[in-house]
Amino acid sequence: MRGLTREHLVDIVAKFEPCPENLQHMVLGIDGFTNYMRSPAGDIFNPEHNQVNQDMTQPLTNYFIATSHNTYLTGDQLLSQSRVEMYAYVLQAGCRCVEVDCWDGPDGEPIIHHGYTLTSKILFKDVVETINKYAFTKSPYPVILSIENHCTVPQQKKMAEYLKEVLQDKLDLTNVSGHECKKLPSPELLKGKILVKGKKLPANLGPDAEEGDVSDEDTGNEEEDDSDDSDNDLQDGNGAESTNQPKKKRRFGRSIIRSFKRKRKKKIRMKNKTMSDGESDHNSSRERAQIVYHPKKRKTMRLSRALSDLVKYTKSVRVHEIETQGFLSSWQVSSLNETVVNQILQLKPAELVRFNQRQLLRVYPSNFRVDSSNFNPQPYWNTGCHMAAFNPMMEDPLPGHKKTQLMLKIISGQQLPKPKDSMFGDRGEIIDPFVEVEIIGLPVDCSKQQTRVVDDNGFNPMWEETLVFSIQMPHIALVRFQVWDHDPIGRDFIGQRTVAFTSMMPDFSGVHLEKDG
């Protein structure tokens, strides 16, 4: 081992060497070395990385932010329960951006739930109190409160009142100065602060105006991304809303029908586009390169001055064109559906990287994920998307960039468990283990290699094999170790461990397996 002090090495020998003679000579025997490798001290993960070890003094746009989507939901997106406790859960797990979908509630009290569904409702005030209690129990760095605002002005004023009363100095940003050229402040400067992400009144509105209209260009709500056909669905032939069934059930049914209407229309448009042969090659290419960031339908809403004034560095704005947006100010956040971002990744990946250098971008799950499943965030992280929102339940891409070589020598295993669902597990069969190592990161970096199979030895299998990987972007790469039991009809999972490349210790290390795959 390199870079260790003599005092540290003496401490290792004293802790793990059982032989008195070896202790006298300050050396590790085979038993002492085995004890060390199987202890937390010999783990592959760098213990210094259990604490924040990155430079936290750069603008907020230089960081990935742990983000949750529809934070309040305990299950699926249509019928599940909303719980205040979900905010405590995600914040204690390290989440730094939580979402609140706010609607008018009874008795003038704003509520939170997933609109136009049968999910249950919770009070906005209770959620704010929970956020205040748990925001900084796990991390001192800022929390972003992402507000999806569907409330009328009187209840917006109530929201602002609760935010100021409960969060108090956590909202006070007077001592936080942004960088020149309207760049965002750093996580270090924002320690202990809560940033309200929401809409903001236009700058040209008079300072005495208590409320004003927010145009479609100023909005960033997910609900509005799905309203293409809302006029036809919300009105009958006379333009009046039908009263044949309860309003809630009508909206719920329409929301489902609209989703599948949009999907069907999209397929029809794609089919017609494929069959069309009257356009020139130039026009066809240009048409394919167009990205629809949001529906073209314009909407306005009334916004309270009290709520607007709580938004400073995280103003919600729509994406109109990634090539030009964000040059004048970084004090804004945009949200895009995963489907749109996948389109951008195909057509304008370099422009997306540059866009993410200028302002914050949040990617949220497709509305077709009604089961609250989650996307693979790695492609979005690869292009610098800051906030990949989770439901709480090639040519060289970098010309001239020097590659990093990872050389792993897989030596042996110790006391490997039998597979959890092994067919003969209860009858005491001996496993035939092998190790698979996977690199997860840029597409060009993603690869897998495995060792040979060691027959009939789960106690101390010996592989003594070297696996070599070439990695373009080690700073975003993950290294996954998986151990499998080989059998003639397939393989059974034994355990895995995933470690960030930059958190791996050099030289001899132990990999402590986890049972979850």
Phi, psi (rounded to 5 degrees) for 137: -75, -30
Q: What is the pLDDT of residue 473?
A: 86
Question: pLDDT digits over 356-396, tens only?
Answer: 999 999 999 998 898 898 999 999 999 999 999 999 974 44
Spatial contact of 233 and 258, defined as CB atoms under 8 Å apart: yes
- Answer yes or no: is pLDDT of 227 > 50: no
Beta strand pairing call for 387-390 and 301-304:
unpaired
Per the listing, tokens 């909407």 go with 299
Handedness of CA 360, 365, 367, 370 (dihedral sign): negative
Q: What is the pLDDT of residue 289?
A: 57
Average pLDDT over residues 476-480: 93
- Answer yes or no: is pLDDT of 1 > 80: no
Question: pLDDT digits over 41-95, tens only?
Answer: 889 998 889 889 999 999 999 999 999 999 999 988 988 899 999 999 999 999 9
Spatial contact of 187 and 142, defined as CB atoms under 8 Å apart: yes
Spatial contact of 359 and 61, defined as CB atoms under 8 Å apart: yes
Q: DSSP assignment of 369-384, as one string?
A: -TT------HHHHHTT
Spatial contact of 271 and 120, defined as CB atoms under 8 Å apart: no
What does the alpha-carbon distance between residue 232 and residue 27 come to, in Å, rounded to a whole number? 80
Tokens encoding 165: 């009363």
- Answer yes or no: is pLDDT of 231 > 60: no
Q: Is 487 helix (H, G, I), strand (E, B) or coil?
A: strand
DSSP for residue 71: T
Q: Is 86 helix (H, G, I), strand (E, B) or coil?
A: helix
Residue type (1 letter), 208: D
Question: pLDDT digits over 168-210, tens only?
Answer: 999 999 888 755 557 899 999 999 999 999 999 998 888 888 9
Tokens encoding 10: 């003496």
What does the alpha-carbon distance between residue 307 and residue 303 come to, in Å, rounded to a whole number? 7
Average pLDDT over residues 459-478: 91
- Answer yes or no: is pLDDT of 236 > 80: no
516 falls in which pLDDT band (50, 70, 90)? confident
Question: pTM of the predicted model, to two decimals?
Answer: 0.71
What does the alpha-carbon distance between residue 224 and residue 370 come to, in Å, rounded to a whole number? 17
Beta strand pairing call for 490-500 and 478-487:
antiparallel
What separation in angstroms does the CA of 1 have from each of 8, 50, 91, 467, 499?
11, 20, 38, 20, 20
Q: Which residues are catalytic?
A: 69, 113
Q: What is the SS3 assignment for 387-444?
A: EEEECCCCCCCCCCCCCEEEEEEEEECCCCCCCCCCCCHHHCCCCCEEEEEEEECCCC
